[in-house]
Amino acid sequence: MKRIRVFFTLLVALVPIAGGAAPVDWPTKPVRIIVPFPPGQGADIIARLLSERFSDEFGQRFIVENRPGAGSMLGTAQAAKAPADGYTLLIGGTSAMVINPFLFADAGYDTLRDFAPISNVASLPMVILVRRSLPVSSIGELIQYAKAHPGKLTYGSAGNGSSHHLVMARFARMAGIDIRHVPYKGSAAAMTDLLGDNIDLLSDTLPAVTPNVTAGKVRALAISSRSRSPFMPDLPTLDESGLKGFDVTAWSGLLAPRQTPPEILDRLNAATVKALNQPDVRQRFKELSMSIIGDSRQDFERFIREELERWKVEVKSSGAKVD
């Protein structure tokens, strides 16, 4: 009987507890990286760069799955509900992780409860643009023009409550101007109308606007981050332009379902940092005008908590409402 009890004690000890330690041989099958946006956007490019490096690093396929819809909430909610076994990852960013939870009564997930941060990957400051025919060449001139024509200027965004919308709403509040919001279903449609002189201005991420700025099709007036971007070093910040303290930057990072074993999260963090330090990856990010981050799990979690506090205030102050 004693031998039987010892046998069962050892057997129980060897049975893995649900949500417990990571298997030593992870991954033993393909891993999916959910991108809650269509192919070709910044988050999708980031996911594909990482998936290639992860596949080499771990000897298993890392497959990018694009799950766009509902303002990035569809794919994000799917990732939140996936098993926390290391076989589902998410590229999450500003709108999905720190804006939508305050914009919608039920986004389908809770950022802190449902997700484990792995590493922040890239920062994407926003740029304020105007149509070429608008007679302003600086933020100061734009503010003067807007005050001389209250309620006449229109700005586009990727939709109500998007980071594009909230950055412009904050700009208008701090500048004391009255400009009208025109929401679109995606930033590409807003840019199309700016190029066609159907709206007057908009804010979008640096990577998204660089081609049209470089081609001279639109005029860039300022960048939203506290510091100038190395990709447009001559472009002043909004803080420099008189809106003291203006410092808003979009971001994109790698996350997993919250109960994913820490051993897996640590390995993924190390692989992410390694990938971001490879010369060809750094060159690709440079071409895309995206600044590399590659921080620790702890730093990324701390950052997300700070961002939630920041955007909670911004959503409330903007009065943003969803249709």
- pLDDT, position 323: 56
- pLDDT, position 169: 93
Q: Can you spell out the DSSP letters for 106-135?
A: --SS-HHHHEEEEEEEEEEEEEEEEETTSS
CB 154 within 8 A of CB 179: yes
CB 95 within 8 A of CB 72: yes
CB 203 within 8 A of CB 220: no
How deeply is 30 buried, as exposed, middle or buried, from its count of CB atoms within 10 A (0-12, 13-18, 19+)?
exposed
Q: What is the largest CA-CA distance in the chain?
A: 93
Domains and CATH numbers, the chain: 23-124+249-318 (3.40.190.150), 125-223 (3.40.190.10)
Cα torsion 20, 25, 28, 30: sign: positive
- pLDDT, position 176: 97
- Is 223 in a helix, a strand, or coil? strand
Helix intervals (H) in the chain? 2-14, 42-58, 73-81, 94, 100-103, 111-114, 139-148, 163-175, 187-195, 206-214, 262-276, 279-287, 297-318
Instruction: Give me the tens of pLDDT residue by residue for the chain, a chain 323 residues long.
Output: 444 444 444 444 444 444 444 455 899 999 999 999 888 778 898 999 999 999 999 999 999 999 988 878 999 999 999 999 999 999 999 999 999 999 998 899 999 999 999 999 999 999 999 999 999 999 999 999 999 999 999 999 988 888 899 999 999 999 999 999 999 988 889 999 999 999 999 999 998 899 999 999 999 999 999 999 999 999 999 999 999 999 999 999 999 999 999 999 999 999 999 999 999 999 999 998 999 999 999 999 999 999 999 999 989 888 877 75
